[in-house]
Amino acid sequence: MPTTESLIIAPQWIGDAVMTEPLMRRLHARGERLTVGALPWVAPVYRAMPQVAEVIEFPFAHGGLQFKARTSLARQMRGRFDVAYVCPNSLKSALLPFLASIPKRVGYLGEARVGLLTHRLKNPPKGQRPPMVAFYSALSGEADVAQDRPRLQLDTLEIEQALATMGLRRGAFHVIAPGAEYGPAKRWPAAHFADLASKLDLPVLLMGSAKEFALCDEIAAPVNAAHAGKCLNLAGKTSLAHAFCAIAGARSVVSNDSGLMHVAAAFGVRQVAIFGSSSPLHTPPLNAAATVLWLKDDASYQPTLDCAPCFERNCPLGHTRCLVDVQAARVLTALS
């Protein structure tokens, strides 16, 4: 029986990409050969999934249909794939499989793309969506799509070689990822991260994008002033592939609810994830070695956080108690 050639249109965020891994596992297990089309900053996630045979980096930027570029790429793909699974809900993400005349095109209804998809899943309202792993896994058409832990894999030698280029040894450092692309209401205060870093027993790598370099510097400066060289700010200074190696080789990872939180979970690293405006009921770190700190869920915390989760970029009430009141000592205890 011929192999089914499948194209997966990847989400544009790292955390979402990680949460599609159980979908990849399902499709691969039933004999489909998987090619993932992904934006360049997401592509390394799929290179850490052994089920994926090929990764195509899309030459698209944020915003706009970029119709000419999509038409050109679709022309190259025509006749190559039997089925396409469209993970994002946008119109433009469904356009490429349609233009490539892929016979079966699976995705959720949304953004007036009824005619672009041949197999359409009803898109539940945001407040009623299942956790994201199950949301993506449902694209497989299989009935049992309960939360399944995403898993990423890197070769041990690859990890050790990447760490050696940074002058590090496996398990001899902690990683702190203080960013959250969505907004400040998801970010634990920089002063709290600095307090934690100063108390940790090993050197600390600060990881993030180039946009988070200043934030990481704000954390590193007071720590290094008291403990010279303890914090190394690598935000924007490593490839995503090397950042993955650092996370996979860390003693522990501390982060907000972010893409790197999901990366750490997928590598099974000891981690603490600090939630504020978002909810671990929707996007938890699916990792037996994870501790989630969310004051909304803490019966001893008073007064109760009736405002959480608000899912806002900035705290509507101006206090961000959900994050400010999580002390570094509590994170340190969770790591011990």
Pick the CATH number of 4-140 from 3.90.320.10, 3.40.190.10, 3.40.50.2000, 3.30.1330.60: 3.40.50.2000
Structure tokens at 196: 């934690």
Query: Tell me, what's the pLDDT at 277?
Result: 93
Total-model pTM: 0.93
Distance from C-alpha of 192 to C-alpha of 294, rounded to nearest angstrom = 15
Distance from C-alpha of 155 to C-alpha of 116, rounded to nearest angstrom = 39
Across the range 96-111, mean pLDDT stands at 95
Give the strand order in the sheet containing 32-38: 52-57, 32-38, 4-9, 83-86, 104-108, 119-121
Q: Is the pLDDT of residue 146 over 90?
A: no
336 falls in which pLDDT band (50, 70, 90)?
confident
Distance from C-alpha of 330 to C-alpha of 334, rounded to nearest angstrom = 6
Q: What is the pLDDT of residues 72-94, one digit of tens each?
A: 999 999 999 999 999 999 999 99
Q: Is the pLDDT of residue 24 over 70?
A: yes
Q: Which residue bears the tokens 């993932």?
A: 36
Query: Tell me, what's the pLDDT at 144?
Result: 82
65 falls in which pLDDT band (50, 70, 90)?
confident
Q: Is the pLDDT of residue 111 over 80?
A: no
Q: Is the pLDDT of residue 43 over 90?
A: yes
The mean pLDDT value of the chain amounts to 94
Name the residue with higher pLDDT: 153 or 336.
153
Distance from C-alpha of 235 to C-alpha of 251, rounded to nearest angstrom = 19
| DSSP helix/strand/coil, 264 | helix
Q: Is the pLDDT of residue 1 over 70?
A: no
Query: Tell me, what's the pLDDT at 282?
Result: 85
Structure tokens at 35: 């090619």
CA-CA-CA-CA dihedral for 96, 28, 249, 273, to nearest 10: 70
Poorest-confidence range of 35-39, 59-63, 285-289, 301-305? 59-63
| 39 in Cβ contact with 173 (< 8 Å) | no
Degrees, nearest 5: CA angle 111-139-3 = 125
Distance from C-alpha of 335 to C-alpha of 289, rounded to nearest angstrom = 10
User: What residues does each domain of the chain span?
Assistant: 4-140, 156-335
Distance from C-alpha of 147 to C-alpha of 144, rounded to nearest angstrom = 9
Q: Is the pLDDT of residue 281 over 90?
A: no
Distance from C-alpha of 229 to C-alpha of 221, rounded to nearest angstrom = 10
Query: Tell me, what's the pLDDT at 75?
Result: 96
What phi and psi, each to the nearest 5 degrees, are found at residue 331? -65, -40
Distance from C-alpha of 43 to C-alpha of 18, rounded to nearest angstrom = 11
Q: How many CB atoms lie within 10 A of CB 171?
A: 11
Q: What is the pLDDT of residues 114-145, one digit of tens each?
A: 899 999 999 888 777 788 999 999 999 998 87
Q: Is the pLDDT of residue 267 over 80?
A: yes
Query: Tell me, what's the pLDDT at 236?
Result: 93
Helices (H), the chain: 14-18, 21-29, 43-47, 67-77, 91-99, 132-137, 156-165, 190-199, 213-226, 240-248, 259-266, 321-324, 328-335
What phi and psi, each to the nearest 5 degrees, are found at residue 329? -60, -35
| 58 in Cβ contact with 39 (< 8 Å) | yes
| Closest to 202 measured CA to CA, from 335, 61, 324 | 335
Asked, colleague to colleague, whether 4-140 and 156-335 share their fold, the answer is yes
Q: Is the pLDDT of residue 203 over 80?
A: yes
Q: Which residue bears the tokens 């050639």?
A: 5
Q: Is the pLDDT of residue 227 over 90?
A: yes
Across the range 294-318, mean pLDDT stands at 93
Name the residue with higher pLDDT: 333 or 282.
333
CATH superfamily of 156-335: Glycogen Phosphorylase B; (3.40.50.2000)
